[in-house]
Each structure stands twice: as structure tokens, then as C-alpha cells.
Chain A
Amino acid sequence: MRRFATLLDRLVFSPGRNAKLRLIQDYFASSPDPDRGWALAALTGGLAFRHAKPALVRGLIEERADPVLFALSYDFVGDLAETVSLLWPGDETAPVDPALGEIVERLTRAGRTEVPGLLAGWLDGLDPTGRWGLLKLITGALRVGVSARLARTALAGLSERVAVDDIEEVWHGLEPPYLPLFAWLDGRGERPAPEATGFRPFMLAHPLEEAALEALDPADFLAEWKWDGIRVQIAAGGGRDGGAARLYSRSGDEITAAFPDLAQTLAFEAVLDGELLVIRDGAVAPFNDLQQRLNRKTVSARAMAANPAHVRVYDLLFEGGDDLRPRPLAERRARLEDWFARAAPDRLDLSPLVPFADWTALRELRAGAREAGVEGLMIKRKDSAYLAGRPTGPWFKLKRDPLTADCVLMYAQRGHGKRSSFYSDYTFGVWREAALVPVGKAYFGFTDEELALLDKWVRDNTTERFGPVRAVRPGLVVEVAFDSLHPSKRHKSGLAMRFPRIHRIRWDKPPAEADRLETLAALAEG
């Protein structure tokens, strides 16, 4: 437990992706089975303990700490697990370091009344970091900034022969503590077999500059709309091996539980690549409506009726047991259309091909593509196999031009790592009457030279400091580019930008001439 707690502790403080990868890899490489497998399960959200709840933890500390001292401490620290880990009157003369496997096994078997005693025993013998890690582990709220995908990327780093996509492909057929997986990564065992009609790693596209288009032959490509939803994969086993249909996001995480309305209609045996959308009365609803349904463990009947989920299908990876991925796209497309006509699934439709004569015609189509639901155009080589990852050459995305707004810099926050001495995260706003109201935050889009100038400007124009954040006088206009704008209850301005980035610094523009909230509100979709 102590090593895993130390890992969690280090992850909390390490903002950089590479720093996190190194920490996780170091842990996996130097920890025994099955502990590292249980750690992997914890990091990827695959562990849950029924009887361990925050109220139980609170009850335990109230039996052991003076109420005044607990109140003063909790008030100062602000986090229950951390307060308890520091206040707990441990017994340093009898240190314990329970293995993760032991903790998981005993907590899983224990009844409700046995859990408090078990937990107290471990807390007594651990050090504060160990206690904190244990409490985070059992209450299921790690919050250490590690996605399941990042954890799997770290795993891939254990072996030179294995890429993260290889792991993704077998991942969903495995269970904690993942012994066959680690055996394979260590070179002690065979690659675990992927599920017959299970998840397969996505094929991704590169963005394409317009100028580069001319070097390509339009006759080699198919074009289709890039829909503004989220990329998903349907892996439907047709009831074989008791396998229900499952939905996976691009990061390889299963999201079936949030979409039972969709999942229960998928009574076929195939693996499909498509775009998850909310479709009402035949029209694609704004992305914002889809967002209401994302990241949920359960979903109400009302939400399902208000925002019905559909998938617009791009590609067919498996039909029955046939792996079509090595076949050329043109052939897969024909099989897809044929399959779709026969299967006629309720909540699915086909993403239509977009006919075009030459690149000029395609560019014109793209320029007109600002209607709801379309994010841009995809072009794909007709002869392309379906390959894991982001190969260079076969698929490209032509994104529509971004929207822009002239905003006034309001706050700047210091960055991390390489940027820890720079004010590099910018909050900007627009005018509502005579006051600025924040509309977004961006930390990229500028060059290193511009960053140095922005940093200097922030330091020279600071009006207030709040820890790592500085408020600045309303004196600098930045042109912000963003993909779209949506109503949001979480933001004071009532608007939220997608993918905001600093497009240009308008050193020349007087702040009074920056955009007004009404202007932005008119651009909002949905």
C-alpha cells in the first residue's frame, strides 16, 4: 500500500503528462503481481468497494480525535481523507504495509460490520501518506489526473514490442489484477486474445492544410462529413457468449452505461465505427445536448427522451466474425451499405458519402459547412485498410475555419514545468455594458517569443494577486479562435467556448473596441 500511496501522492503534484508516465511506469516496473494489477484497476476506475463510504471514515475519526481539534483541522485542510490521514493517531511501533491484493480481497469479502475494524487496523499501522492513499483508494475518488488511456500508455512503456493500441485491443477482455497482461508485457507469456467482437483501437486522421490538398489525386479519395458529436465504436456480439452490445469512446473507455436507450437496440453481431449524436426529428441536435448525456454512470428516462442518442456510422470493422480491417475502405463501405440495408438498425444511420469532382469543389462544400452538426469534412483513401492509431497518409480531416472574437485579458496564471516562471494561462472576457465578463481560458496558440512578451505585459500591468493568479488592468486585446460557442450555466457569461486558443495578440487594438457579450451570444449554437 505504501508504494501505491506514494505513487498517488506524486501523481497529484505532477502536472506534466511525461512526468506522470514516468511515475506510473516506474511503479509498474518495480512492483510485484498482483499488486500492480490492482493498482492498474484503481487507476483505470475498475475498483469499487460497496461498504467503504466517506461517512464511515468520518465516523472512525470522530471516535479517535478531539472534536475541537478535528474541526479546526478539517477547516484548515479542507479534504476529509487528507485530514483523517494526518490526524489519525497511528502506532509507529507496529508499522504495517498491507499488499494491495490483500486489501482488495479482504474488503471484498468483508460484511458491512467488519469493514470499520479492518480499515482502522490498516490506518493504525500506515504512515500519513499511506493512510491518505488507502482512503482515496477505497472511497473511489483518486482524482490524480490520470485517465485510463494514460495508464495504458504507461503500461505500453514497459515493453519495447508493445504499443498502446495493442493493449487497447485486448484490454476489454481482461479482468483485474491483469496477470496475463503483465506476463505478456514482461515477455513471460503470450499476448492475451482479444474478444471476438470486442473493442478494436480506432483509426484517426491527421488535419490537412489546404495547400497540401493539391498534391493528392481526388480520384483516390472518398469524402464524408465530419459530424459534431463524439467518435464511438459499437462492439456488438449479437448475444454470443452472453456478450451484450457495448459502446466505447475514442479513448477506449466503455460508455455503455450512459446510453442504454441506444445499446439495447444493437441486436446484431458487428463492430462499427461512427459518431454518437443526439438526433431529434431527423436533425442533428447541438453538441451541447449530447454533452448532457456524457460522463454519466446512470441516466434518467427523461434525459433519454429529451436527448435521444443515435450513431451515424462511418465504417464496418467486423461483420459477424469476419475481420474486415485489412480490406480496402471502398470494399468495407460496400459491405457496410449492404449490411445496413439488411440489418436496418433503429438508432443507426449511415454517414453519407459526399460526391465531389475536384478539390476546388470540395473546398466550396467545406466553406458552406457551418450548419448544425457538421464540424468539417473527412477525406479517406479508397484503398486504406483500417489501422490502429494515427497513420500518416490515408485519412485527413479538413476542419472548418474557426470563429474568432476580440477579447480583453483579465487574469493570468503561472504555468507548470517549463512554464513555471511564465504567466501562460490566460482568462479573457468581453464587455457587458461597462464591465468585462470572462468568456474563456486559453493557454496555447502563441509562440515562445509571444509568451515572453505576454508574460512581461502581465507583470507590468498587475492590479491584484491571488496566489499563482494575477489580475491585470483591462489593457490588452487578444483575438481568440474557437470551434464553436454554446450556452452554459456554469459560466458567469452564460457562454462556453470549444477549443479556445490565442489566435493573435492585438497590441494595436484599444480594449474599448473589443467584442461585446451580445455579439458573442449571437454566435452561440443550441
Chain B
Amino acid sequence: MLATAETLAIMAARYGDAAGREHQALAYGEPLRIGQVTLTLVPAGHVLGSAQVVLDYKGARAVVSGDFKRRRDPTCPPFQPIDCDVFVTEATFGLPVFRHPDDAAEIAGLLHSRALNPDRAHLVGVYGLGKCQRVIRLIREAGYDRPLYIHGALETLCALYAGFGIDLGPLLPATGADKETLKGEIVLAPPGAANDRWARRLPDPLVALASGWMRVRQRARQRGVELPLVISDHADWDELTATIDDLPSAEIWVTHGAEEALVHHARTNGRRARALSLVGRGEEDGEDGEP
């Protein structure tokens, strides 16, 4: 297993022994020679530790983006564009309707809703890795310093992020708290928890969900979400197309999402592009937020 130290720590925390036996940490920007290929990890801006893989071989360069985003994230270093001959890009939100709004405005909406509904708990569905901690940081940046209540499944990674110096402020377990205490509070939980019996401990929960899929109303309504928060750790359409523009020499290979629209866009703009179907990777499902 070759990854950044942060990613290795996350994998060990999440999967324990199942994370593989041999771990090799590689810092961002530090070249590693493997046979005739030089491999370098570069920040992808997706979550803590996430990296693009830069492969250099006899003067040719390929970059595999992995999951990435371009906007600021207080929990990880920003994406760094590296011009190359082949760029393999994700396309989770590869349709022009996906344009994520300013995340601070989304958080302001959450806090306004809380003020309007002091007798209800706001149950915010967040993917446990990255989204959870970013949403917490954004809430803190909005000046909210009350304790945040978190579902047990989120505790390990929150502690790990804090260990890497990301200040999440006071967090309390949601599971022990009584109904009266939770009125007017913000509770974070994995996206499915709102539909679990677990949610019955909350006072009249107002269900929010932080995900790029929340951009489309019908999708949010189908999930029974009352307060959609359009916050994503994946590049939106504008970020995807801007990234292609930032890499003028690259042929674009699109995978992992809505390939058709992005390939069409790249070709219309005079770029070489094709869809790359990875074996074993289906369409990214919105059911549980976004990995």
C-alpha cells in the first residue's frame, strides 16, 4: 500500500488489518522511482491525504486525478494542476447542471434554519470521511461554537482529523444525549442514519444532507431531505472544465461518473478526449452521499 501518511492513517483507522500489511508512506511532491517510472503524489484537494498520481516515463507524463475538487477546503491542501500528456479525470458531477454554490452560503442556510426551528434537532447527513470534518470546519468558520453532536460512526475519523491538527471544536456523542438536550442542536450522522431507528432519539429531526447530488431537487425530495446542503468534495462541472483548460497539452480520459457530457464538451473545444470505462466501477450512486 503506497499512499500519503494521512491516507495510510485513515485506512488503518477505517479498516484495521484489512487495510493491508505493507504500508509505504510517500509525501506530496517526493518522487519515487519504480522500475523505469517515476511516481509523484500531488494534492487532489478531495479530502485529507487525497492525491493525484503523476507518472513520468521516458519524457511522457500521465496524471490520474482520482477524486478531486478545486475549491478551498479547510481540511486539506488544494488541488495542484500538473500539465501532462494524458489526464485521467473523474466525472462524478460531469453534467453542466452540477454547479456547486458557495459552501459558506449553504452553511448560513443551515444556521438560519436552526434559528427558525429551535424546538427541532437538525440532523445533518454527512459522508464520514472528509465531508463530515469539512462541514464541521465550515460551521466553525461561520462563528458557531456550540458543541456539535455526532453519531458514533463519525467519532474515529473526527479524532484522527483532530490529531492531524484540524480543529473541529467541541464534539459530543449524540447517542447518549436525551431528547430535551438535543432541541435546537446540530447533529451529524452518516447519510442513512435519518432513516434508521437510531434517529428516533432526536426531537422532531429536520433532516439535512450535505452532498453535491442535492443540487437536483427531485433527487433530494426522493430521499426525504428537508434541508438540502449542496456541498461536495467532488469537482462540479465548472471545476471539471476549468481543470481541462488548465492542462492544455493533455489528452483527456474521462472515467468514474457522467463521461458522455464531459467528453462531448472537451471535443467541442478542440481537445482529444475519450471515455475510459474502468472494470468494476459503476455509476457513482447518490444513495449514500459521495465517497
Contacts and interface: CB of A to CB of B under 8 A. Distances in A.
Contacts of A418: 204-205
Contacts of B117: 19, 22
Most chain A beta carbons < 10 A, residue from B196, B216, B223 = B216
Interface residues of A, number: 36
B97 A13 contact: no
Interface in A6-22: 6, 9-10, 12-15, 19, 22
Nearest to A66: B268
Interface stretch (B36-44, B78-86, B259-267): B259-267
Contact of B96 (A14, A22, A87, A414): A87
Given A13-B226, A421-B196, A86 B96 contact: yes
A72 interface: yes
B200 interface: yes
Contacts of B138: none
A216 interface: no
What is the interface of chain A mostly: helix, strand, loop, or mixed?
Answer: helix
Contacts, number: 95
B114 interface: no
A507 interface: no
B96 A69 contact: yes
A371 interface: no
Interface residues of B, number: 40
B195 A416 contact: no
B166 interface: no
Contact of A22 (B98, B116, B197, B225): B116
Interface string B216-232: 11101111111110000
A417 interface: yes
Contact of A13 (B116, B200, B221, B268): B221
Nearest to B194: A420
Contact of A468 (B109, B223, B261): B223
B199 A420 contact: yes
B230 to A, nearest CB: 9
A65 interface: yes
Interface stretch (A77-85, A113-121, A241-249): A77-85
Nearest to B222: A467
Interface string B267-283: 01000000000000000
A128 B96 contact: no
B268 A82 contact: no
A414 B223 CA distance: 10
Nearest to A26: B116
Contacts of A14: 226
A66 B204 CA distance: 45
Contact of A69 (B109, B205, B227, B265): B265
A420 B264 contact: no
Contact of A417 (B204, B216, B222): B204
B269 to A, nearest CB: 10
A23 B101 contact: no
B99 A421 contact: no
Contacts of A128: 99, 101
B193 to A, nearest CB: 9
Contacts of A66: 264-265, 268
A82 B268 CA distance: 25
A73 interface: yes
A127 interface: yes
7 contacts: A10-B113, A66-B264, A82-B216, A86-B97, A417-B226, A418-B205, A421-B200
Interface of B: 95-99, 101, 109, 113, 116-117, 194-200, 204-207, 215-218, 220-228, 258, 260-261, 264-265, 268
Given A6-B109, A417-B205, A420-B194, 18 more contacts: A10-B227, A13-B226, A14-B226, A19-B226, A22-B117, A65-B96, A69-B265, A72-B95, A77-B97, A79-B218, A82-B97, A82-B217, A82-B218, A87-B97, A417-B206, A420-B195, A468-B222, A468-B223
